Amino acid sequence: MECRICSGRLRPFADFGRQPVSDAFVAPGDPGPEFFFHLAVGVCADCSMVQLLEEVPREKMFHDGYPYLSSGSAVMREHFAGVAERLLATELTGPDPFVVELGCNDGTMLKTIAEAGVRHLGVEPSGGVGRRAAARGVRVREGFFEAAAAAGILAEDGPADVVYAANTLCHIPYMDSILRGVDTLLRPGGVLVFEDPYLGDIVARASFDQIYDEHFYFFCATSVRAMARRHGFELVDVERLPVHGGEVRYTLARQGARTPGPAVARLLAEEEAARLTEPATLRAFASRVAANRDSLVALLEGLRDEGARVCGYGATAKSATVLNYCGIGPDLVPFICDTTPAKQGRLTPGSHIPVREPGAFADPYPDYALLLAWNHAEEIMAKETAFREAGGTWILYVPEVHLMGA
């Protein structure tokens, strides 16, 4: 097995077995059979990049029916409004600036840019969510970003001041084509800004459900700096973010164009001190994950045997790994409530748990709710205070299995 970045040797460290496409919710009339792949992760002995060992064809994940909506969380809507304001104030200050977002989804970030009257383009292969962005006044190019697409955008719109991507770059195995495309598209002093789940947080919290088909790479400063340098870029800034269970925002500029800020050296030193990308650290992570799986299954089986009423909250992509790796089906979690229209009335991939509308949660409240959208815990618990007041208990499994009741 070869590293997708540098062709170095991959050392496998965790295996989640046979898994479905995480956002492929099964509709009642779907002909089947479902697509499965082998979900396992390794670390490159040469460049330290942590990555999946098997790649799912991109068209199986990102297509017209892709269900995830960035606007589904109030905290994320605020986060992306803040990102847009910041780009406008710091990077988009020249005459007639131009920003390109990769994976703009339903336009949650670019909407603010469009409202400011700034030239922009969202690149989005999933047609359904892209049309939602267009309906909000965002200019969208349907298709996958890659080197060829970059040349097309440059010809039509000229060079970009910023290429921005949230929760998208880590989804793209063909990074060589992406970084060549970014190099084509960016003006000489331009920057690539991207934010993705941080390996340091995944290891610290044992948040193994960040590992699923769409998340191909698990970035950290060490591996991103090496990746950037292969393409003539330098890592010039990093910023830790609290969203989605812990992310880092990386800023890449062309080598020599900007002096790296002090946060870069600090994070690199922290990663080295923690031995973050060493196989022993990653194998220890894998053992904690297996122990957490066993205690989650034991808890849910115990609750079923005592006749407690349980449901799931948030039919996340992440939950595909939890449910399929732990073998949790409708006997343990009879249904999951979720606000996403395209998930409701369907079954979770592989585990076949029915997804219902949010109203099903309180009708009546279950005794226990498995919080599969744990990254939105604060937002969800704040709006669902009545659940605990009614005697309900949340089940969380990050950083280990624990209960939050009245």
Binding site for ligand JHZ (CB under 6 A): 68, 72-73, 167, 214, 244, 314-318, 338-340, 343, 358, 373, 375-376, 379-380
Within residues 231-250, the interface with Zn ion by CB under 5 A covers: none
| Dihedral pair phi/psi, residue 361, rounded to 5° | -65, -40
> How far is Cα 212 from Cα 321, in angstroms, rounded to an integer?
6
CB 218 within 8 A of CB 170: yes
Q: Quick one: which segment of 47-55, 166-174, 293-301, 342-350 binds ligand SAH (CB under 6 A)?
A: 166-174
DSSP 387: H
Using rule CB under 6 A, residue 233 touches ligand SAH: no
Which of the choices ligand JHZ, Zn ion, ligand SAH, none does residue 126 contact, using the CB cut-off of 5 to 8 A by kind? ligand SAH
Which of the choices Zn ion, ligand JHZ, ligand SAH, none does residue 46 contact, using the CB cut-off of 5 to 8 A by kind? Zn ion
Using rule CB under 6 A, residue 144 touches ligand SAH: yes
Using rule CB under 6 A, residue 105 touches ligand SAH: yes
> How far is Cα 108 from Cα 85, in angstroms, rounded to an integer?
13
Q: Quick one: which segment of 2-10, 37-45, 165-173, 305-313 binds ligand SAH (CB under 6 A)?
A: 165-173
Question: Smallest gap, in angstroms, from Cβ of residue 123 to ligand SAH?
Answer: 5
One-letter amino acid at 51 equals: Q
> How far is Cα 151 from Cα 205, in angstroms, rounded to an integer?
40
Binding-site member from 24, 39, 40, 44 for Zn ion (CB under 5 A):
44
Using rule CB under 5 A, residue 140 touches Zn ion: no
Site string for ligand SAH, 48-67 (x = CB under 6 A): --------------x---x-
Indicate the SS3 state at residue 16: strand
One-letter amino acid at 327 equals: G
Give the gyration radius of the chain's Cα atoms.
21
> How far is Cα 359 from Cα 291, in angstroms, rounded to an integer?
34
CB 281 within 8 A of CB 274: yes
Nearer to ligand JHZ, 46 or 78 (CB): 78
Question: Smallest gap, in angstroms, from Cβ of residue 170 to ligand JHZ?
Answer: 7
- Cα 376 to Cα 24, 316, 401: the distances in Å are 21, 11, 17
Q: Quick one: which segment of 6-14, 35-43, 94-102, 177-185 binds Zn ion (CB under 5 A)?
A: 6-14
Question: Smallest gap, in angstroms, from Cβ of residue 258 to ligand JHZ?
Answer: 28
DSSP 366: P
| Residue 364, burial from CB neighbour count under 10 angstroms (0-12, 13-18, 19+) | exposed
Q: Who's near 143: CB < 8 A, 6+ residues apart?
A: 123, 124, 125, 149
Binding-site member from 24, 26, 41, 47 for Zn ion (CB under 5 A):
47
Which of the choices ligand JHZ, ligand SAH, Zn ion, none does residue 5 contact, using the CB cut-off of 5 to 8 A by kind? Zn ion
Residues at the site binding ligand SAH, with contacts judged by CB under 6 A: 62, 66, 68, 70, 102-103, 105, 123-126, 129, 144-145, 166-168, 171-172
